[in-house]
Chains A and B, each alone.
Chain A
Amino acid sequence: MAYSSKVLDHYNNPRNVGSFPKEAADVGTGVVGAPECGDVMKLQLKINPEGVIEDARFKTFGCGSAIASSSYVTELVKGKRIEEAMAIKNSAIVQELNLPPVKIHCSVLAEDAIKAAINDWKAKHGKQVEATPADKAAQG
């Protein structure tokens, strides 16, 4: 299976790899996936008091498409308000990276990671937390 040029670009030159201090008040951390499934994404967002995402970092254990999805997401969310970021759908990631059907779960994971990171920030600030698709799946 050949990779799309965008997946290769993100894999070879991943954007915003790294970590912020988890405890910092302005940092929301989302960790989604599981090692035995072969994918774990950690997405961290630095969010200002106005609810704007100022910066993002990721670390991912997973295939090239999972790495590319998380790398792309760090670019995508920067400068967005949290409501806008919450509205990002995995299909946007699939489209941008030309992911084949077998790799769609990578984009779902990346969407979950955004929601998990924002929810973590909200929880730190005593705000109402929205259920992520993963939570809903777990309940359903």
Chain B
Amino acid sequence: MVKLPIYMDNHATTPMDKRVLDAMLPYFMEKFGNAASRNHSFGWAAEEAVDKARTQIAAAINAKPKEIIFTSGATESDNLAIKGVVEFYKDKGNHVITCVTEHKAVLDSCKALERAGKATVTYLPVDKYGMVDPDDVRRAITDKTVLITIMAANNEIGTIHPIAEIGRIAKEKGVLFHCDATQGVGKIALDVEAAGIDLLSASAHKIYGPKGVGILYVRAKGPRVRLTPIIDGGGHERGLRSGTLNVAGIVGFGAAAEIAVREMGQEAARLRNLRDKLQAELFERLDEIYLNGHPTQRLPGNLNVSFAYVEGESLLMGIKDVAVSSGSACTSATLEPSYVIRALGTDEELAHSSIRFGLGRFNTEEEVEYVAQRVTQEVRRLRDMSPLYEMAKEGIDLKSVEWKRD
């Protein structure tokens, strides 16, 4: 019997790997020193541990250890990269290029700069698979462009952007390229040299590490990237991010990154198999379901599907033993359905009907079978209750209906 509840929301966060926890434990009570204490062994032990983690994380993205700046998470890293570059290079220009399906940490940082009159921002569209067109990036560049910020992979639909091409264009035009790789690091191969990335955000808790720790990679050479810090204080992290280092968290991030990269080949293949099995089972059993995201250029553990005529939140309620998430308005604080799904040109109704399955390291084939079976059962039950499904089966074109809105 499969153990319930099942966690299948690994884009939101992941459970810690036992190996990560074991690496962290000494740094709470025994080796609790402040990495900035330069004059005693407690400080040295902490600094040594941080240096090791810096090396582990740098290796994961083909960077140099000194190019890694520790932060509180990817949201802070995105804020630092975007606001820090725009502020530092304000004499050079004030134009930023991003895309409509970026994470809110990126979009809202851009909007804050617009509101403050510090930047003008181009929000590039995406195609029906959620992918940005590198030619659009090229066309959007002006002599005022200081930064391009495009994510590695989308957190809702898993679409992997052509970042190496974007990086090449950025280099060619002499514009800095920031990549929010929160969903990419440890899941897909990422190489800041090969992809021409100048700044990269990542977070530990998406790769079976602890919450509350992230990094910003800041290129040191070719070009040397400069930033204005957003947090001032004791000058930690080369003055770019003051604040006592979260040593235990950083050690955990280092261990998590090393494990994720070491096991990536095997694990990505396993996840892709499980995901493809889940997808195949759902598409076999149910009609009128639609894949959101790219059919192939997609994170191995991601499956985002719209179940037509069934509202997402009601489906989540029906499969309460399975933790997944929905693009339905009813599950968001804003009462708007997912802006990512809507950006694909999908009907609003299908945005309300979307479910994101995020498979991770600890999901099993048995769980996939259970989830496929439960979701199928619940979609059928809710469709039997859905006036839209009834109308569609009667051959009524739902777009021709004049709806009475409240």
Contact = CB atoms under 8 A, between A and B. Distances in A.
Interface of A: 3, 11, 14, 17, 19, 31-42, 59-64, 66-67, 102, 105, 108-109, 112, 116, 132-134, 137-138
Contacts of B317: 3, 11, 63-64
A42 B387 contact: yes
15 contacts: A17-B384, A19-B390, A33-B405, A35-B348, A35-B349, A35-B352, A35-B388, A35-B398, A36-B347, A40-B388, A40-B403, A60-B385, A63-B328, A112-B404, A134-B405
A37 B404 contact: no
Nearest to A8: B317
B390 A63 contact: no
The 4 tightest CB contacts between A and B, nearest first, are: A36-B348, A34-B403, A35-B349, A42-B387
Nearest to B403: A34
Q: Which of B348, B398, B405 has the largest count of A CB atoms less than 10 A from its CB?
A: B405
A62 B311 contact: yes
Contacts, number: 94
A85 to B, nearest CB: 18
A67 B317 CA distance: 11
Contact of A60 (B328, B330, B386, B405): B386
Given A59-B385, A59-B387, A64 B405 contact: no
A61 B388 CA distance: 7
Given A59-B385, A60-B385, A32 B314 contact: no
Contact of B405 (A14, A34, A66): A34
B73 to A, nearest CB: 24
A39 B353 CA distance: 11
A101 to B, nearest CB: 11
B309 interface: yes
A62 B337 CA distance: 13
A37 B405 contact: yes
Contact of A33 (B309, B328, B348, B403): B403
Interface in B309-361: 309-311, 313-314, 317-318, 328-330, 335, 337, 347-349, 352
A133 B309 CA distance: 26
A37, A116, A132 pick with most chain B CB within 10 angstroms: A37
Contact of A31 (B309, B349, B387): B387
Nearest to B318: A11
Nearest to A132: B404
A132 to B, nearest CB: 8
A60 B330 CA distance: 15
A60 B406 contact: no
Contact of B311 (A31, A34, A38, A102): A38
Given A61-B309, A64-B317, A134-B404, A38 B328 contact: yes
Among B314, B329, B335, B386, residue most surrounded by chain A Cβ atoms (within 10 Å): B314
Contact of A40 (B330, B348, B387): B387
Given A31-B403, A36-B349, A38-B352, 20 more contacts: A11-B314, A31-B387, A35-B347, A35-B348, A37-B406, A38-B311, A38-B348, A40-B403, A42-B387, A59-B387, A60-B385, A60-B387, A61-B387, A61-B388, A61-B389, A63-B313, A63-B314, A66-B311, A105-B406, A112-B404
Given A17-B384, A63-B330, A108 B406 contact: yes
Given A11-B314, A35-B398, A36-B347, A134 B335 contact: no
B246 to A, nearest CB: 31
B329 to A, nearest CB: 5
B385 A39 contact: no
Given A33-B406, A36-B347, A59 B390 contact: yes
